[in-house]
Structure 1
Amino acid sequence: MEAQPGRTNRRRFLLIAGLPLLAVGGLTTYAAWPEPNPDKVRVRTDLDPLKSRFGTYVGELTEAHWLGYDMDESPGDRTIPSPDSRIRLVGVARLAAGTAAAIVRNAEYAFTPTVPAAALPAPLEKYLPADAAWQHSPQYDAYVNRPQSDARPSGAYHLDEARDLVHFDLVYLYT
C-alpha cells in the first residue's frame, strides 16, 4: 500500500514544525524549574523570617540580605522530600543603632576578633563589607541557638560594632 502524497506532506510538516515546539517547551520548563543552588537563587530582603528565628536574641533588624535553602535538595531531586531537612540561612543584617556594641560588650559572652570561617555564597558577597571588624563568641552562639519547638539551630553569629551588622550562617534541622 503506497502512502498518499497529501498525507506524507502533512506528516513531514508536523514533524518539522512539532519538534522545535516541543524542544522550546522543554527548555522553557527546565529554565523555569526552581534551583536550590544558593549561587542561583534570589537574595531575599524580607525581615519577618529572620525576626521569627533569631530576632528576639539579636534585637531589631532594620535591613537584611540573605539566602534560605534546603541543603539536602539537589537540582535533580523531584521526589518526596526527606522527613529531615536542613535549611541554611546565611546573610548579613543591620541592627538598630548601638545594638551590636551592647551585645559585644556583654562580658558574659567574651567576644573576640575573628574572620567568619564559612565562605559566603557569591550573590551575598557584595553586601558584606570587606573591612568589617567582626567579633565572635561561641557562648553567644550557644545562647541564640537554643533548640526551638520545631527545629534545632546551629551556626555562628559575627557582629560588627561600628556598622551594627550581624553576619549569620545557620543551619536549622527540622525533624
Structure 2
Amino acid sequence: MEAQRGHTNRRRFLLIAGLPLLTVGAGLTYLMWPEPGPRPEVRTDLEPLNRRLGPFLGELSDAHWLGYDIDDKGDDRSIPSPDSRIRVVGVAHLPAGGAAAITGRPDHAFAAAGAPSDLPAALKGYLPAAATWQHSPGFDAYANGRGAADQASDGIPSGRYLFDTARDLVHFDVLYLFT
C-alpha cells in the first residue's frame, strides 16, 4: 500500500510540474515558428527603382529595397487575386544635394517626421538610427501623380517618401496596384 502511494505521489508531481512545461514549450514553438508566405530578399539593383522613382527623385544609388506582392500567401493552393498589390519599400541615396533640393521647395511644405514605421525587419539595418527625416503629404501626392502619369503600365502608385538631407537619403514605401 505504501509503495502504491509513492507511485501516485510521483504521478501527481509529474502531472503538476510537466503540464506547465509542456504549455510553455508549445507556446514558444508557436512564437518561433516561421511565418507563412514569401521571404523577399533585400535587393540592391537600381534599374527598376530609377525607372519608377527617378523621374521625380533623381538618379538613385546605393539602394537597399524589397519588392513583393503583399497578398501572396506563399502557397500554391490559393486562387490568385485579379488585382495585385506590389509593395516597394527601401532606402537609397540621392545625388549630392538632392534631398535638400526636394525638401527646400516651398510648395511641398516639408516638416519633421518620425522614423519610418512598418519597416520590414530585413531593411532595419540599412536606415541610420540618427537620421532626421522630413515628410510632406504634398510631395507624396505629387510623386504618386507623376508615377501614375509616367508609368501607367507599372501600376497605380500610392506611396510615402521621407528624406534625410544630411545624408541625402530617401526612404520610400510605395504600393503599386495592378488591376
| Band the TM-score falls in, shorter-chain normalisation | 0.7 to 0.9
Could you tell me how far apart the structure 2 residues matched to 1:66 and 1:36 are?
18
Per-residue deviation at 1:149?
Answer: 1.5
**Number of aligned residue pairs:** 139
3-state DSSP class of the match of 2:51? helix
Kindly indicate which of the two structures has a greater share of residues assigned to helix. Answer: 2
**Structure 1 residue 166 corresponds to structure 2 residue 170:** yes
**Structure 1 residue 81 corresponds to structure 2 residue 68:** no
The match for 1:156 is 160
Q: Cα–Cα, structure 1 residues 123 and 141, in superposed 2: closer, same or farther, change >3 Å?
A: same
Could you tell me how far apart the structure 1 residues matched to 2:175 and 2:110 are?
21
3-state DSSP class of the match of 1:66? strand
Question: Could you tell me the TM-score, scaled by structure 2's length?
Answer: 0.73
The match for 2:113 is 114
- The CA deviation string for residues 29-85 of structure 1, in whole angstroms up to 9 with x for no partner, is xxxxxx853xx3210000111111111100110110000000111022445632210
Indicate conservation of the 8 Å contact 1:111/1:137, yes or no. yes
Matches within 5 A, 1:1-175: 36-37=37-38, 40-79=39-78, 81-146=80-145, 147=148, 148-150=151-153, 151-175=155-179
Indicate conservation of the 8 Å contact 1:36/1:69, yes or no. no
Which residues of structure 2 form unaligned runs of 5+? Answer: 1-35
Could you tell me how far apart the structure 1 residues matched to 2:66 and 2:171 are?
12
CA RMSD of aligned residues (A): 1.5
Percent identity for Structure 1 against Structure 2:
57
Q: Cα–Cα, structure 1 residues 119 and 105, in superposed 2: closer, same or farther, change >3 Å?
A: same
Which residues of structure 1 form unaligned runs of 5+? Answer: 1-34
Indicate conservation of the 8 Å contact 1:36/1:70, yes or no. no
